[in-house]
Copies of this chain bind each other. A is one copy, B any other.
Amino acid sequence: MKPMDIEKESFAIIEKELTTDIPAEYKPVVKRVIHTTADFSYETSMTFSKGVIEEALKAIKEGVDIVTDTNMAKSGISHKMAEKFSCSLNCYMADSDVASEAAKREVTRATVSVEKAAKDNPDCIMVVGNAPTALMRIRELYDEGIFVPRLVIGVPVGFVNVASAKEEIIESGMSYIVARGRKGGSNVAAAIMNALFYMAADDDKEWRRC
């Protein structure tokens, strides 16, 4: 069985096992997350701000900057797709200036990374699969009128401060794709970004058939 056939067969299995009626525009994202995790709980935990898919595809086609909160998420995003749409892929977590600033102020590196993104990539898509403090800082800077990301993919995983940080994004007024609750991760974050890329690439075909 060829890799493309396996992917097709996998998506057919997922489609068959879905238990809720997911709107067509969200389905490619939800299905790709389930494809990445084999976890059908994302079917009900994933939530989208109104119009977010159209906005995301427009941003991608305009060559939006993408900023991730882990190098693992950056590594999982399709570099081929990013190149196709001239989207830059950035992660500031391992930058030495971020580390020293975070240590000095006794905040997380994720907090400082968000500030760096707000400065260097003010119209970016923020892809957050790990750090609730990244979401908290995004919300603060948004409330202060300093940072308005084109889209926040908010899917950190965890047991402490995670579910509440996601709710703060949902309530903010920003464009978002969020997996409510504890679950998520760098793999989920990358899968969402990749689903959006594939939708942008395939536009009027594949994803509208979902």
Q: Mark A183-194, 1 if CB is under 8 A from B, else 0.
A: 111110010000
Cross-interface CB contact of A72 among B3, B184, B187, cutoff 8 Å: B187
Contact A161 B39 (CB under 8 A): no
Cβ-defined contact, B72 with A190, below 8 A:
yes
Question: Which residues of chain B are within 8 angstroms of A39 by Cβ–Cβ distance?
Answer: 37, 39, 183
Most interface-central of A9, A157, A183 (chain B CB within 10 A): A157
Say how far A146's CB is from chain B's closest CB, in angstroms: 24
> How many copies of this protein are present in the complex?
2
| Bound Cα distance from A39 to B72, whole angstroms | 19
Q: Which chain A residues in 155-199 approach chain B with CB under 8 Å? A: 157-161, 181-187, 190
User: Is the CB of A90 closer than 8 A to any CB of chain B?
Assistant: no
A108 sits at the interface (CB 8 A): yes
Q: How far is the CB of A129 from chain B (nearest CB, A)?
A: 9
Contact A9 B75 (CB under 8 A): no
Interface pair A185/B37, CB less than 8 Å apart: yes
CB-based contact A159/B9 at 8 Å: yes
Beyond the given pairs A13-B160, A38-B182, A185-B187, 20 more chain A to chain B contacts, judged by CB atoms under 8 angstroms and listed by A's residue number, are A1-B160, A6-B158, A6-B160, A9-B159, A9-B160, A10-B160, A13-B159, A14-B159, A37-B157, A37-B185, A38-B159, A38-B181, A38-B183, A39-B183, A72-B76, A72-B186, A72-B187, A74-B75, A75-B75, A186-B187
> Which residues on A are within 8 Å of B, measured CB to CB?
1, 3, 6, 9-10, 13-14, 35-39, 71-72, 74-76, 108, 157-161, 181-187, 190
